[in-house]
Amino acid sequence: MYKSFLNILAVFHRDVTEQRLSFQDHPVLNDRYLLLTLIGKGGFSEVHKAFCLKEQRYVAVKVHQLNKEWKEEKKANYIKHALRECDILKTLDHPRIVRLFDVFEIDTDSFCTVLEYIEGNDIDFFLKQHKLIPEKEARSIMMQTVSALRYLNTDIKPPVIHYDLKPANILLGTGTSSGEIKITDFGLSKQMTEDTYDPEHGMELTSQGAGTYWYLPPEVFVTSGPNPPKISSKVDVWSLGCIFYQCLYGKKPYGHNMSQAAILEHQTILNAKEVQFPARPQVSNEAKLFIRRCLTYNARDRPDVIQLAEDEYLRSYPKRSATNSSARTAQLLINDSSN
């Protein structure tokens, strides 16, 4: 399908047992993307820093690999999620969302998506290095993330639920907690089309069991009853509460140090009716109240993304003698509020 197809295969070494691709000698994909360094691995994908020879810019090339031994149903499901991410990302244009530039096939079992390259690491990496993020910087991250989510719910038609918000999917553009952020990974996102979404009750969750359990709300774990659970943007609001809590306290509010299997077995999230705050570090009462609102157990009583964007804790900004760094952050938040 592509002129460089045979050359690509010659430099690829497939490790079937790990279901990943390993690249050598800096191959050029699709006649334009020069692979430079491996920057991340997932269960069925690798992400490489690359250089676009045509546009003369750095990009992130995500190589999606399918195991040939998979059943066709599993292949189709994986491709469906990957292509959904592509379809959604192609329509998005917001300073707090990673841009998608290109999609192309390598062979029948692998394909690539080309994304905006972000120099910094994600919040998950930052927390592993620094344990905590001070409240002022953590609130900045929340405000920027809410700005992106509001865009997904007001400017995009039909609106989008990210559904997989977590520290690993929020990138720190400068590598520090006080800089600009971008959200990424829309592989599990849901579009609230008119035929599937009820404004009063939400839309049916057709992919129950997917996602990262520490950051998902109780309603997605409900298995009783004849019908699938109903979800809305309130799923992302719960996720934000979990992320903010983890930034401030260095641990997850529910299921910390538990496996996903244990969370299901013990019904940890289904029983997450009250959030507990450690005595240290010291956090403002306003921040705690904001977290409680995000982690409201009953989805009916929890604010949605649009309501959260109007939350007083996010909209107010303390008047302090600012350093150059904090002044830059304040200006960033003001700019986001106008988006």
| pLDDT score for 322 | 38
Distances (CA, A) of 23 to 32, 38, 57: 16, 9, 20
pLDDT tens per residue, range 254-302:
999 999 999 999 999 999 999 999 999 999 999 999 999 999 999 999 9
* Helical segments of 155-278, H only: 234-249, 260-265
pLDDT tens per residue, range 127-171:
999 999 999 999 999 999 999 999 999 999 889 999 999 999 999
| pLDDT score for 209 | 61
Per-residue burial over 241-272, b if 16 or more Cβ lie within 10 Å, else e, is bbbbbbbbbbebbbbeebeeeebbeeebbbeb
The set of catalytic residues is 164
Band (pLDDT 50/70/90 cuts) for residue 192 is confident
Q: Would the annotation count 49 as a binding residue?
A: no
- Contact indicator for 216, 270 with CB cutoff of 8 Å: no
CATH 3.40.50.1000 fits 24-116, yes or no: no
User: Region 331-336: what's the mean pLDDT?
Assistant: 46
Q: How far apart are CA 51 and CA 57, in angstroms?
A: 6
Residue extent(s) of CATH 3.30.200.20 domains in the chain? 24-116
Residue extent(s) of CATH 1.10.510.10 domains in the chain? 123-314
What global pTM score does this model have?
Answer: 0.79
pLDDT tens per residue, range 300-315:
999 999 999 999 999 8
Q: How far apart are CA 141 and CA 180, in angstroms?
A: 8
For domain 123-314, give its CATH number from 3.30.2020.30, 1.10.510.10, 1.10.486.10, 3.90.1720.10: 1.10.510.10
| pLDDT score for 138 | 97
Highest mean pLDDT among 37-51, 203-217, 265-279: 265-279
| pLDDT score for 225 | 67
Residue 224 exposed, middle or buried by CB count within 10 Å (0-12, 13-18, 19+): exposed
